[in-house]
Amino acid sequence: MFELIVFENCPFCHRCQLVLLEKGAAFRTVQIERSKKQDSKHLLSPYVRVPVLWHDGRPVYESSIINEYLEEIVPTPALLPQDAGRKALARFWIDFCNTRFMPAYFNLLKERNPERRAPLKADLMGHLEFIETGALVNVSEAEPYWMGQDVTLVDYAFYPFFERFASVETYRDITIPADHQRLRGWLNSMHGLEVVGRLARPRDYYVEYFGRIYADQ
């Protein structure tokens, strides 16, 4: 039995829950209140954050590392390509999500000064364009996922941020361009996955939740 330490609405925790469900692994979640994380430091990572996966009495930290750990411990279904080159490419896209796309999303969302948002919007829009024309250039009805025919850790790395994209659409006036049809097609494919549906929350939920934190006053 795996135990996953989480915060409510954390996209990084969402990643790991999706992979645990996809793997069919038995697990339970332990939710920590953000306001009380100092009281729960013994359950958190050395960075004092979540997710943390406990397994066989040992903690595993950081969502991408947790998901690769799960790939090794629960190898079926495989969520990384078997070919070494394709596996390296998958890891590149996960790194892009972690170091480029995710920071751009949060930098825009967290910017309180409207006059400082223009370059942050441009940065996020540039990443969306890169996904459309680079990452998903070969996406099709036959190969609807990031790496082709089968869902992988890459899809589950990115998806939680797109489920929460209503936050920047509503409060930072940015949206996925209509001509980004590959990206929109990938999102539709993700929405159709059973494990995604088990955890999904509606757009209005995220609009209300993020509005309490990031709406302009």
Report yes or no: 109 and 167 within 8 Å, Cβ to Cβ.
yes
Domains of the chain (ranges, CATH numbers): 2-73 (3.40.30.10), 84-214 (1.20.1050.10)
- For residue range 138-191, list pLDDT tens digits in order: 999 999 999 999 999 999 999 999 999 999 999 999 999 999 999 999 999 999
154 vs 38, which has greater pLDDT? 154
Nearest one of 169, 85, 107, 101 to 134, comparing CA atoms:
101
pLDDT of residue 63: 98
Closest CA to 108 of 175, 154, 63: 175
pLDDT computed for residue 36 by the predictor: 78
Collapsing DSSP states into helix, strand and coil, what is residue 29?
Answer: strand
- What integer pLDDT is reported at residue 35 of this predicted model? 81
Question: Residue 39: its pLDDT value, please?
Answer: 76
Question: How much is the mean pLDDT over the chain?
Answer: 96
Burial class (CB in 10 A: 0-12, 13-18, 19+), 89: middle
Residue 34: is its pLDDT beyond 90? Answer: no
Label residue 79 by pLDDT band (50, 70, 90).
very high
> What is the structure's pLDDT at 40?
82
> What band does 43 get if pLDDT is binned at 50, 70 and 90?
confident
Pick the closest to residue 183 from 128, 143, 122, 142 (CA basis): 128
Tens-digit pLDDT profile for residues 97-112: 999 999 999 999 999 9
Helix (H, G, I), strand (E, B) or coil at 76: coil
pLDDT of residue 103: 98
Q: How far, in Å, CA of 138 to CA of 148, rounded?
A: 8
